[in-house]
């Protein structure tokens, strides 16, 4: 599973609110629904990740982390 926990931590450390992020992302065509998807670990496009990297001056690896989905691992065995 992909988690955007690092993004949420980065926003908290930098004291960036989701309100600020929505307004800052306006030029990158990100809306409140996209921000909500990030906050709830739902899928987003690579365009969204690119925009966040541009806005936050970071890399995709700093925004997300991977942890294997245990349910899928168990069914593969």
Res 74 pLDDT > 80:
no
Q: In this predicted model, what pLDDT tens digit does every residue of 2-13 receive, in sequence order?
A: 999 999 999 999
Return the structure tokens found at 57: 């001056």
**51-74 burial: b if 16+ Cβ within 10 Å, else e:** bbeeebeeeeeebbeeeeeeeeee
CATH number for the region 2-76 comes to 1.10.260
Q: In this predicted model, what pLDDT tens digit does every residue of 11-45 receive, in sequence order?
A: 999 999 888 888 876 677 678 899 999 999 999 99
Instruction: Compute CA distances 2 → 27, 28, 51, 65, whole Å.
Output: 26, 22, 18, 6
Q: Where are the domains of the chain?
A: 2-76
Give the SS3 label for residue 42: coil
Give the SS3 label for residue 3: strand
């Amino acid at each position: 599973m992909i988690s955007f926990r690092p993004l949420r931590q980065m926003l908290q450390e930098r004291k960036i609110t989701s309100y600020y992020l929505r307004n800052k992302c306006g030029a990158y065509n990100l809306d409140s629904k996209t921000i909500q998807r990030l906050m709830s670990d739902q899928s987003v496009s690579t365009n969204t990740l690119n925009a966040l990297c541009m806005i936050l001056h970071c890399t995709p690896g700093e925004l997300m982390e991977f942890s294997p989905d245990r349910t899928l691992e168990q069914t593969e065995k």
